[in-house]
Structure 1
Amino acid sequence: MDKDITLKAMAHPVRRDMLSWLKEPEVHFGGQEHPLEMGVCAGQFARCGLSQSTISAHLAALSGADLVTARRVGQWVFYKRNEETIAAMRSFLNDL
């Protein structure tokens, strides 16, 4: 885990919202056609009111920081929180 990249990814409020929504996908993305066990489809993040390209850039930043995992299924990409990286980041911040 690159702590600087992770901190930079977490610095944006929309990205923090995305991570928060992914913590309880059944609450925030209950209308998704595919099972939430697969993750949340990138298109479901339209709820934040941003363009698809902006949403994709935010998800790419979270993925690049290893805060989320991405899984491609056909034409869709599904995202889940990477709890291991999030826990490591929490531990790092607690040690400061």
Structure 2
Amino acid sequence: MGVCVSHIQAKTGVAQSTVSTYMATLERAGLVRSTRVGKWTHYRRDEEGIARLIETIRRSVGSADVADVVRL
């Protein structure tokens, strides 16, 4: 199911509203998925999205010269 925002907040010490904002950003980027359970939102990794990001980085860095890497 995933990890509840309140658990992330407790572990990080960051305000719950800030955690929610960060997690929403990660969800829009395709790196996590959310599930609503009552008044709580649970997040889990989106393995396909993470794999796409890794492949994009690998292609960019793998084919880049030093100047291209610095711009990343």
Shorter-chain TM-score category? Answer: 0.7 to 0.9
Residues 57-72 of structure 1: matches in 2 within 5 Å? 57-72=21-36
Answering whether residue 19 of structure 2 is matched by residue 55 of structure 1, we say: yes
Hey, what's the Cα distance between the residues in 2 that align with 1:75 and 1:92? 35
Long gaps (5+) in structure 2: 61-72
Q: Which has the higher strand share?
A: 2
Aligned to 1:82: 46
- TM-score between both structures, scaled by the size of structure 2: 0.77
Aligned to 2:7: 44
Task: State which structure, 1 or 2, has the greater radius of gyration over its C-alpha atoms.
Answer: 2
Hey, what's the Cα distance between the residues in 2 that align with 1:49 and 1:74? 23
Identity percentage of aligned residues: 41
Long gaps (5+) in structure 1: 1-37
- TM-score between both structures, scaled by the size of structure 1: 0.59
